[in-house]
Amino acid sequence: MDNWDEIRTAYHVARAGTVSGAAEALGVHHATVIRHVDALEARLGVKLFQRHARGYTPTEAGQDLLRVAQTTDDQFAQLASRIRGRGNDVSGELVVTSLAMFAPLLAPVLPLKPPDVTSTAERFQRPFMDGHLLGTDHLGRDLLSRLIWGTRLSLAVGFAAAVIAAVIGSAIGIVAGYAGGRTDNVTMRGVDMLMAFPYILLALAIVAALGPGLLNALIAVAVVNIPFFARNIRGVTVGIAHREFVDAARL
């Protein structure tokens, strides 16, 4: 079990006051509860509970842990409630998020005004004016139309850059992790060099070298994300490359 399981176990012990109550709440054996509590106390170097015949009483450190864990538990409960909605009702956050995601994708079929058409007679229109839900800018262009079409472009660039980075980074990580030896060392040192540069600074340097343009911005975003995919996939590959079924396939 990892640290979170130990913390969660200690939290339930503090709430229930007994090992058996915590074991019932978690659905585990009482020996597992005792082992988790002892391991967490050893890891932290403090006593979280006073043991006595009637159960476990939290110490001052145990009370602090209980407060932090209770806050975290409440936050997870709120998050789960928002994801599920209230019963069969759809939460407002889900509606807004869905509109924000799908409106740009449906921009060509939505009854929007052309985003680049100017009209000096309709400059600086207030929101909710006739035909302009969000008003107009200094050239009379519809702000809602420009917002949705601009978001469509941003989503396309971001998604394409993520896919490119994932494909190239995964390929690099798989080759490095499977080949090992000098290939792994040289490849990972190159990845480390890229990761040594600040994320934004490296992207700006690539754009400055390639010049302005949407394609160059896409390349810059993809390049700075490749090292993260490469390192993560390489770690997974190293763990799998020496498994028995891989050795059998090599033979």
pLDDT confidence of 81, banded at 50, 70, 90? low
User: Is 89 inside a domain boundary?
Assistant: no
- Residue after which a domain boundary falls, among 84, 111, 132: 84
Percent of the chain with pLDDT over 90: 20
Residues 79 and 98 in one domain: no
CB 25 within 8 A of CB 17: no
Q: What is the pLDDT of residues 100-153, one digit of tens each?
A: 667 666 777 777 788 888 888 888 888 877 777 788 888 888 888 888 888 888
Instruction: Give the per-residue pLDDT at 232.
Output: 92
* Residue 51 covered by a domain: yes
Within-domain flag for 69: yes
pTM of the model: 0.54
Point out the domain boundary residue: 30, 64, 84: 84
Average pLDDT over the chain, rounded to whole?
81
Using pLDDT thresholds of 50, 70 and 90, give the confidence band for residue 61: confident
Q: pLDDT tens digits, residue range 175-198?
A: 998 888 899 899 999 999 988 888
| Residue 9 resides in a domain | yes
Residue predicted with more confidence, 44 or 209: 209
Query: What pLDDT sits at residue 228?
Result: 92
Q: Residues 99, 64: one domain? A: no
Same domain, 39 and 71: yes
Instruction: Flag whether pLDDT at 172 surpasses 90.
Output: yes
Q: What integer is the mean pLDDT of 199-205?
A: 89
Number of domains in the chain: 3
In this structure, the answer to whether residues 160 and 242 fall within a common structural domain is yes
Answer with the one of 106, 122, 149 that is the final residue of a domain: 149
Is it the case that residue 84 has pLDDT exceeding 70?
A: no
At residue 1, the pLDDT reads 42
Considering the domain boundaries, does residue 98 fall inside one? yes
Q: Are residues 65 and 134 in the same domain?
A: no
Find the domain containing 186 and state its range. 154-250
* 218 shares its domain with 142: no
Q: Let me know whether 34 and 112 are in one domain.
A: no
